[in-house]
Amino acid sequence: MTAHHFSPTMLHNSIGSHAPVLTIASGDTVTAETADAHGFDHRGIKIGDRPNPMTGPFFVAGAEPGDALLVTIHGIRMTRSTGWTFDVLSPNVVDPSAVHRFPARRQTQWLIDAQTGRARLAEPPAQLARWSVAVEPMIGCFGVAPDLGQAISTATSGRYGGNMDYRGFKAGVEVMFPVSVPGALFFLGDVHAQQADGEIVGTGIETAAEVTFSLRVLKDTKIGWPRGMNEHEIFTIGNARPLDQALQHATTEMHDWLMADYGLDAVAASHVMGQAVRYDVANVFNPAYSVACRVPKDALSGLR
């Protein structure tokens, strides 16, 4: 297998059937540079425009509609010592009667210390002068070209992936996307140094990064929504608004997965899910909300 390094000269604000920037073989590894959500790269130079400019797309030889693309995230390295967030909660995550209590939203700078693995506010309120958070990089937006010739804004998400802003998309995780076009056309970007569940201030700590990943074609593997695996669990992602529809998509996809790959019928899969499922509210800020449906692997031991 071949290892590639890719530095973008242009970025995309939609995920669709754009001309590929690089053709790779199934199983190849790529280290790709990304800009932050407003298009600033590792040098602080603006090379793209908001929202969430994407690196790619990468054409994977042999990928065809009806396959799945398996993305393994090997590493995410911050390439800038600064990031930014907004400073107050998004109006849609608080009671409507409370919205007037918040000041106007401002962009706030953070300092990212690679040596200590901590990030802190550049100009913190007095109460937070000694406060910091762990650097836990994640990919906010990635996925494959959707069907029907669509090019969909990187502000939102769908069956193809997109701007899901799930903090579980980090190093060591494998993610599957349904392939809808020849070559799959894989995009990525919008890396966060840290982000809590929900992306409730409208951002994570937005920064530039270098992501190392591999892409493998799973032939004749038809899935409906993104699926993922980490050391301890499997999970599915539903993207929609309202929030209950996103949960329904994620739950249905998990039920389908357990029946297809674990030998369970509808009743058996329901029993397992009824006692084992955990949900994460991945984001409640974007045009489509995202919900993760998780099942611990130890709940599935002995089923296959």
**Residue 4 contacts residue 28 (beta carbons within 8 Å):** yes
**Residue 224 contacts residue 251 (beta carbons within 8 Å):** no
Q: In whole angstroms, give the CA distance from residue 107 to residue 114.
A: 22
pLDDT of residue 125: 96
Q: In whole angstroms, give the CA distance from residue 183 to residue 180.
A: 9
Q: Which residue has the tokens 């004749």?
A: 220
Token pair for 133 = 């958070």
Per-residue pLDDT tens digits for 219-250:
999 999 999 999 999 999 999 999 999 999 99
- Taking CA 67 as the corner, what is the angle to CA 61 and CA 72, rounded to the nearest 5 degrees? 70
**Residue 143 contacts residue 223 (beta carbons within 8 Å):** no
Neighbours of 23 (CB within 10 A): 12
**Residue 184 contacts residue 87 (beta carbons within 8 Å):** no
Q: Which amino acid is at 162?
A: G
Q: In whole angstroms, give the CA distance from residue 209 to residue 189.
A: 8
The continuous run of DSSP H or E covering 253 comes out as helix 243-262
Q: In whole angstroms, give the CA distance from residue 205 to residue 260.
A: 38
SS3 272: helix
Q: Which amino acid is at 183?
A: G
pTM: predicted TM-score of the whole model, two decimal places:
0.96
Q: In whole angstroms, give the CA distance from residue 11 to residue 52.
A: 9
Per-residue pLDDT tens digits for 79-108:
999 999 999 999 999 999 999 999 999 999
Per-residue pLDDT tens digits for 187-203:
999 999 999 999 999 99
Neighbours of 222 (CB within 10 A): 13
**Residue 204 contacts residue 77 (beta carbons within 8 Å):** no
Q: For the chain, which ranges sit under pLDDT 70? A: 304
